[in-house]
Chains A and B, each alone.
Chain A
Amino acid sequence: MLAVRGLSCARGGCQVVAGIDFRLQAGEVLAVLGTNGAGKSTLLATLSGELPRAAGDILLADRPLESWAANQRAQRLAVLPQASSLAFAFSVEEVVLLGRLPHASGRDEDARIAAEVMHAADITHLRQRSYLALSGGERQRVHLARVLAQIWSNAEPACLLLDEPTASLDLAHQRLILQQARELAGRGNAVLLVLHDLNLAARYADRLLLLDRGGVSAVGTPWDVLKAERISQVFGVEVQVAPHPQLDCPLIIS
């Protein structure tokens, strides 16, 4: 779905990360990990076409990212930014419906999709509320519902990029959102997300991409990437890695 070859990302003329290679398959959830300033958000911004590439190629569905027409691309690639700055009193439902902008699917279909994604993000009870009256976590879920609406009932598989989707959410909603990401992947889409919590990443992602000092430290399954030695080397924290008592994934104890 998304293929990245020899990618270097720069922000403000300064190279942030280089030599990134990976393939994001349809049906897969890939989590990007790394310390603050490791270049996670820069990588995401480059993948979404927001920042120009310094070098390398990005292919979306086997076509170079920049060769897509804006509207076509928006139907196949949705992006959830870290924070949004909406200062107008849209209702929650109106914000979610903005996600249908790239599609000409008609009012009824849009309303049906909006209802489904609002249920998925657990904001149905906020439907008529003003966006400005919501808390940070609620706003985050509204925007998540918006990007879900963008690719919800696509005929073609789509790619979803999430920049720290769990940042301001409580425990229950963190799980809910990541579960939604898994289900979306289960329906043939590809999901790439930036996470800070190693245990959430280990539990919900198929593969992990660990960034360190301007490059890729490791790519692979949670078992391959999350080794105690590597974690202490990258994050500078001594940890122990044990098998999760109930699930088939590593558990990081710090």
Chain B
Amino acid sequence: MPPPVSQTTPALQIVGETLMIMHARMRPAILTVLFIFLLSTILLSLGLGAVTVAPLDTLAALGNMLGLTEAPGEVQVIIEQIRLPRTLMGLLVGVTLALTGAVMQGLFRNPLADPSLIGVSSGAALGAAVVIVLGGWLFSAMPDALLPYATVIGAFGGGVVTTLLVYRLGQTAQGTSVASMLLAGIAIAAISGALIGLLGYLADDRMLRTLTFWNMGSLGSASYPRVLALALCCALICWRLPRQARALNALLLGESEARHLGVDVERVKRELILLTALGVGACVAVAGLIGFVGLVVPHLIRLMLGVDHRLVLPGSMLLGGGLLLLADVVARLVIAPAELPIGILTALLGAPFFLILLLRSQRRGW
């Protein structure tokens, strides 16, 4: 072996490297903290609102549902009928949006990709709106119980079409161009907005209310059938996506590099696009447009855990669920007894964050 060309190591660099090594050792601890954070936000979300329920009463009410403990009747009703479906929905939406955001950034090889920014959410909303307004006309005999599922399928269709469209439009040899990706997102959001507006003229009052609620996502409509529809999609996504973590790592190098590393790129890409569209579609169908979760959460996780998808994906799931529940608690409390749509809150917090990232990326030249 030839002697390596020696180089001196500046002191500052040694400090930096020590920090990174410590960083690597702290990863299990960080994941544990994230898990505890998620559990506490679940308890907060169950306990806080117009009526405050103490954590022990909350646990008692949950135990009662399983037939283990006793709880006062009114507490039981609040937890079981109102808070639990809402908390579950917030949890599932947060987990799914953060996970799909992280995957999409890997797929597009661009840390600024986010379902809401590149138009996938808008496309999914259009798909869902078509089902809600025209569904009764297209399938006259559709029972109401199937509506959540039909809406999810419509949103999924809209999501797949837009993801493919944006992917095609933004693809260059150097990864995905931010400019074309965002411009495609603007165009798709405009088209979807216009078409949803158009559908508004065909809609009756009940549909109209559902349509407006999309423009500012909310967990207010949580119900067990919706939670179930979302849970089925979320389970599939949380099972399949983390299995592609290593392939996603390789994809970050570039598609041909990933192919040379033995990744079946076309198959992996197809699976990732379908699953992210399903996840975004399901979230949009039940909770409307909740933006920036998929952008902010994976970014924070990369700062904490590094960019390896084997850590980023589980980390994003934990932090995404926790942050969305926290945001929902704030949305419920800040103008109580009324409540703020959570989409407004995530946009208020997420959009400036995105601007900062965009400025930084211009300097680095993505």
Footprint of B on A, CB under 8 Å?
45, 48-50, 70-75, 77-79, 81, 84-91, 94-95, 98-99, 101-102, 119-120, 122, 124-125, 127-129, 132, 150, 172-173, 175-176, 179-180, 183
Contacts and interface: CB of A to CB of B under 8 A. Distances in A.
Which 5 pairs across A and B sit closest by C-beta, in order of nearness? A74-B262, A102-B262, A71-B262, A122-B4, A128-B17
Contacts of B1: 119-120, 183
Contacts of A172: 5
A151 to B, nearest CB: 11
Given A81-B254, A98-B253, A173-B5, A87 B260 contact: no
**Interface hub of A124, A128, A180 (most chain B Cβ within 10 A):** A128
Contacts of B253: 84, 86, 95, 98
B5 A176 contact: yes
Given A125-B7, A128-B17, A183-B1, A87 B261 contact: no
The interface centre, meaning the residue of B21, B263, B307 with most chain A CB atoms within 10 A of its CB, is B307
Interface residues of B, number: 37
A94 B249 CA distance: 10
Interface of B: 1-2, 4-5, 7, 9, 13, 16-17, 20-21, 109-111, 173-175, 246, 249-250, 252-254, 256-257, 259-264, 302, 306-308, 364, 366
Q: Decide if the interface of chain B is mainly helix, strand, loop or mixed.
A: loop
B39 to A, nearest CB: 30
Nearest to B8: A125
Contacts of B173: 85
A102 B173 CA distance: 24
A88 B111 contact: yes
Given A88-B307, A101-B249, A128-B16, 11 more contacts: A70-B263, A72-B262, A79-B256, A79-B260, A84-B254, A87-B109, A87-B110, A94-B249, A94-B308, A127-B17, A129-B20
A74 B2 contact: no
Contacts of A132: 364
